[in-house]
Amino acid sequence: MGTSSVTLEFQAVHDHFRPQILRYLTRLVGEGEAEDLTQSVMLKVSEGLPNFRGDSSLSTWIYRIATNAGLDRLRRITIQPLGEVDVESDEADVPQGAQAPSVETTAIREEMNACIREFIERLPENYKTVMVLGELEGFKNDEVAAILGLSLDTVKIRLHRARQKLHKELGAGCSFHRDEDGELACDRKPVTAIAFRRRG
């Protein structure tokens, strides 16, 4: 394959995957680190693409590079909040007029997303990666296994335990209820109450 062909191929790969990798790394390491890390990942993809043999799918290969880079960064930094990143990012592609949620509904969704993001951030590294890949990025269990280099059974076990832990943490940190419109909402419990429960 000629140099020009590789360049053109990488451009197509870059245009397709860069937004996905940026979103993934934002969820994994935080908004403050994601941009620079995405640049580094795409550079590694550019360098490795000519030697990519197709032993796995292209997306699996790229996400594996991104995951390794993200985990390496997580081990060297204090995890930063995910800020204003919307877990329900698909809504960004819908015309604003078509969405038309009420101010109250929007506030409730933002509060729910903030709660979930905050508690996902607190999960141990091995649980956090499977949750972000499986629940937020939408990969199937076998794809998560390929990206992380784990057995399918290990991924299933980690996902199960991660969901249990997240459910427990959310229950300890938030009080869930239905508002007057029937929307699920949450109120954060006082820190002292959470600390008391954990001590008990």
Q: Angle, to 10 degrees, between the axis of helix 31-48 and the axis of helix 3-29?
A: 150
In a domain, residue 2? The reply is: yes
pLDDT tens, residue by residue, 142-200: 999 999 999 999 999 999 999 888 888 877 777 666 666 665 566 777 654 444 444 44
Judgement on whether residues 107 and 161 belong to the same structural domain of the protein:
yes
In a domain, residue 88? The reply is: no
SS3 state of residue 97: helix
pLDDT tens, residue by residue, 98-125: 344 455 555 545 655 666 767 777 888 8
The residue ranking higher by pLDDT, 127 or 169, is: 127
The pTM of this model reads 0.66
Q: What is the domain extent for residue 35?
A: 1-83
Flag whether pLDDT at 90 surpasses 90. Answer: no
Where does residue 78 fall: left (phi above 0), alpha (psi -120 to 50 degrees), or beta otherwise?
A: beta
Judgement on whether residues 14 and 74 belong to the same structural domain of the protein:
yes
In a domain, residue 149? The reply is: yes
- What's the mean pLDDT in 82-91? 38
